[in-house]
Structure 1
Amino acid sequence: MAPVEQTPPTAREQRRAAKQEQRRQFGGTKWGSAFFGWLTALGTAVLLSGIAAAVTQGYGLTAVPGGPPAGVVAGIVAAVVLFVAYFCGGYVAGRMARFDGARQGVAVWLWAVLVAVAVAVLVAVSGTPVDLTPLAALVGGVLDPASLTIGGLILLSAVLLVGLVGSVLGGLAGMRFHRRVDRATAPVVPTV
């Protein structure tokens, strides 16, 4: 029986194989990249919250007669601020890590959750009363830190979900940059 000749791999197959090997070697969650993504998200949230507070105070944007209540408007503004902040954080992590953008976005969100839990534990252990007014201002004044109600739990869930979705989408967007670079500059590996 005559040996079957194998056709050499196409340039596209070569690029795909090279990318899979790179992912195998360098992929996975990069916690350092995610940490810097979290710092980016935190800084962006603080800046955007300050801008939103200044705009609402400067222009007197409060409840409009016959319009939605001020709490609803504040909740929408807070959700937009958090989404944009975590999108930026996920983008940074996705760009730094190159592979697995969604995973990098989840890691950014996990950093935020872990830091929040650590701060809550430290506050509980220290027994020192903490003024949570700045936290309430950060989320647009819709969170009443003195009471944990069903509405508060729903708000907390929404905040967590908005942050998670924003960071995952940002991670995917950051990773996409590398895919464009790979397509534009991928060398053709000669076959042996």
Structure 2
Amino acid sequence: MSADNPDRRDAVPPRAPDSGDGPRVAADGQRDTLRQDVLAREKDRFGGFKFGAAFFGWLTAMGAAVLLAALVAAVGAAIGLSSGTSVDEAADAAADNSDAVGIGSAIVLAVVLFVAYFAGGYVAGRMARFSGAKQGLAVWIWAIVIAVIVAVVTAIAGSQWDVLANLDGFPRIPVTPESATATGILTAVGAAIVTLVGAILGGMAGMRYHRRVDRVGLERP
């Protein structure tokens, strides 16, 4: 019986343990690639502006603005302060004085409009699923278009057609020399910027919900 050759034993490489991580990593990579491909195809087919969803987002923004303005006005009345939660009131407050009251009214107005249009953008982004920033922009475009239409109709037919007069959801476009003051125009521009930012951020937030659903749908069990 011959003895084992120690050199021969050393020449045989040790067997690597089979951990099974290789196939799992490959499967995860394939799943991520599949999810990205599916999302890319769906976005190409269903992405872009969805003005139908944006219209309902605009309705949501207007309703939220009215409710928030009423809530702020009620709180202000309870503590004996004038909130100035409409665009016209904020402009008047800024024109009359530049102290903390006027600044406070502008801040309250900005917060109300931002939250309202964030909600409107969220609804549009949630309904459309893709292109959240575009859906938020579409909500804002609806607000601009409707404000222009109301301003034109009011200038032609009279102030009785100013249907936005009792709503604080968006600044009305000045159509008379008396209302088209520098302060009123600057306030309207500031409100337009705040609503644009809020609507875009809301649209992106609404879209993120669907991305979470897509990740769960293609996750490894």
Interval containing the TM-score (normalised by the shorter chain): 0.7 to 0.9
Task: For residue 61 of structure 1, give the secondary structure of its aligned residue in structure 2.
Answer: coil
The residue aligned with 1:51 is 71
Question: Is 2:169 the partner of 1:149?
Answer: no
Task: For residue 193 of structure 2, give the secondary structure of its aligned residue in structure 1.
Answer: helix
Q: Deviations over 1:26-52 (max 9, x none)?
A: 111111100000000000000000011
Aligned length: 174
Query: After superposition, where does 1:18-97 map in structure 2 within 5 Å?
Result: 18-62=38-82, 68-97=99-128
Match 2:168 to one of 138, 142, 154 = 138
Higher RCO, 1 vs 2 (CA within 8 Å, ≥6 residues apart): 1
The residue aligned with 1:161 is 193
Give the unaligned 5+ runs of structure 1.
1-6
> How far apart in 2 are the matches of 1:148 and 1:130?
19
Give the unaligned 5+ runs of structure 2.
1-25, 84-97
Q: Which of the pair has more CA radius of gyration?
A: 2
Q: Deviations over 1:151-177 (max 9, x none)?
A: 222211100000000000000000000
Match 2:130 to one of 93, 99, 105 = 99
> How far apart in 2 are the matches of 1:182 and 1:121?
45
1:36 to 1:116, Cα distance in 2 relative to 1, 3 A: same
Displacement, 1:92?
Answer: 0.0
Letter in 2 for 1:27: G
> How far apart in 1 are the matches of 2:72 and 2:102?
14
Q: TM-score, normalised by structure 2?
A: 0.71
